[in-house]
Chain A
Amino acid sequence: MIEMLQYDFMQRAFIAGLFIAILASISGTFIVLKRYSLMTETLAHSALVGVAVGLVAGYNPLWVAVIIAIGAAWLIEYLRSSFSIYSDAVLSIMLSGSLALAVIIVSLGGAFNNSLFSYLFGSILSVSNEDVYTIIGFGSIALFFLLIFSKELYFIAYDEEVAKTSGIKVKFLNFLLVTVVAIIIALSIRVVGSLLIGALMVIPTVAALQFRVGFLRTMLISLFFALFSVIFGMSLSYYFSLPSGATIVLSVIAIFILSLVTNKK
């Protein structure tokens, strides 16, 4: 553990990874309770379009991914509130559409290479100083909004209509939540990868829910699980040269199974 932290790249990966664990688990609590779990997958694929554009056009892929993911989140929220389309169908259409678009951009640009692979499954080797700054910068803003509105978001997740009739600005906060989630997902694809970030957002909360405790405790347990999975998963990635996203996700799934078994009714 100490030994791997002697390397600069591991220090960067750990800073980025731990920050993302905090962001993913806290936002994940609201996402899971609102039944938006599938949205994380869709936004991750939209973020991939941003990565593709970034790689081909030579911009920082993380920045472009943040912008495109926010656009996609707003489009999803708009489509589901303004048209009579089933929301899971909207998510499914956007997911495949984004992936198709990303593949075409990457193919046309000739960027189908290792660096794309690292965006799909995460890589501890690839986190640059600039990435760490981007993650901390955007991530702090996202965390700030999540924390100041956490009570309102919890109320909305519990009952959107009752929240609305109590005077809570539901529409604004729903947009805010998907925006924050889009940012977090886009930031996470460096370490966890776009195909795997959904798991880090959703599974720690689902595992925490098995303990059947109140809101604050559920969120703290979820946070703890996410932090543990990231530390454990990144260590496995380092020692066995495996993609970090995959080792992190398998770690969190192991925790989920343990939570299920130990809390069986």
Chain B
Amino acid sequence: MSFKLPIFDVKNLSFKIRDQIILENITFEIYEGEYIAIIGPNGGGKTTLIRLLLGLETPSSGEIKIFGQKLKNFKEWHKIGYVPQRATLVDENFPATVEDIVKMGRIAKRGLFAGASSEDRAKVHDAMVKMDILDLKNRMVGTLSGGQRQRVMIARALASSPKILILDEPNTGVDMLSQQRFYTLLAKLNKEENITILFITHDIGVIVDDIGRVFTINQKATICNDPKQILSCEEVSELYGINAHSLYNHKHEH
């Protein structure tokens, strides 16, 4: 096996709130180019895991390395694009055009006093083209549909040229057709741009052909290397019980 530096290297990660264990002894690695789905019951710790990876929460024990560096020393945050769960619930009064939002993706990279460079403008333009929102450029974000907002948020994340996109099921208010289009876009980013994707989702049946691995998070992590066989991953079926079938059968409803 050739040596390759993982994007995320997580060892024995645990997280407690007061005495309650939220996540326990989680270990995994994520490599460049992977497409990983995170599933698990509500309250199982999926979002907490992502927040830990992003440094928004501090682990109770264990270690997280990003691109080989300890999380607290990591500085190149532009390599990571994050789209939170609430992304589609934009405050309707917030004064932002689509372009205003996508431009945010470039801010952290820019030095003090520096205006937008031609590279900044090109990346913002590219991100809007990729997400097919160029024609919405001057629209106020509050006036967009859920599906359009979803694409704007991904474009913002893409503008910083990330190596990995971390998405926490940003699906609220998104209709099924837009959702399908969204999954197609993600698969395209993964295949054509080699962007690693870590994605919390309930729709595993729909994207089963795109994903490489599935992490099931319910306090502990179970990693399944063949999504098509997810039902035979013992712990998964134990976890979901009869619902495990609905996870997969979901595919045929669409």
Contacts and interface: CB of A to CB of B under 8 A. Distances in A.
Interface of A: 33, 148, 151-152, 154-155, 158-159, 161-168, 208-209, 212-215, 217-218
B78 A214 contact: no
Nearest to A160: B56
Given A165-B80, A165-B82, A213 B55 contact: no
A167 B162 CA distance: 12
A40 to B, nearest CB: 19
Contacts of A161: 56, 84
B185 interface: no
A148, A151, A166, A209: most-surrounded residue (chain B CB, <10 A):
A166
A167 B77 contact: yes
Contacts of B140: 212-214
Contacts, number: 73
Given A159-B84, A165-B54, A167-B77, A212 B142 contact: yes
Contact of A168 (B94, B99, B103, B107): B107
A167 B104 contact: no
Contacts of A155: 104, 107
B104 A165 contact: no
Size category, B interface: 20 to 34
A264 B174 CA distance: 27
Contacts of A158: 94, 96, 101, 104
A166 B107 contact: yes
Interface of B: 54-56, 75-78, 80, 82-84, 93-97, 99-101, 103-105, 107-110, 112-113, 138, 140, 142, 160
Contacts of B78: 166-167
A164 B56 contact: yes
Nearest to B156: A162
A205 to B, nearest CB: 9
Contacts of B84: 159, 161-162
Nearest to A221: B95
A213 B94 CA distance: 9
A159, A164, A168, A218: most-surrounded residue (chain B CB, <10 A):
A159
Contacts of A148: 112-113
A212 B95 contact: yes
B180 to A, nearest CB: 25
B97 to A, nearest CB: 4
Contact of A213 (B75, B80, B95): B95
A166 B54 CA distance: 10
Contact of A166 (B100, B142, B160): B160
A83 to B, nearest CB: 16
Given A167-B77, A214-B140, A151 B107 contact: yes
A214 B95 contact: yes
A159 B97 CA distance: 15
B100 A215 contact: yes
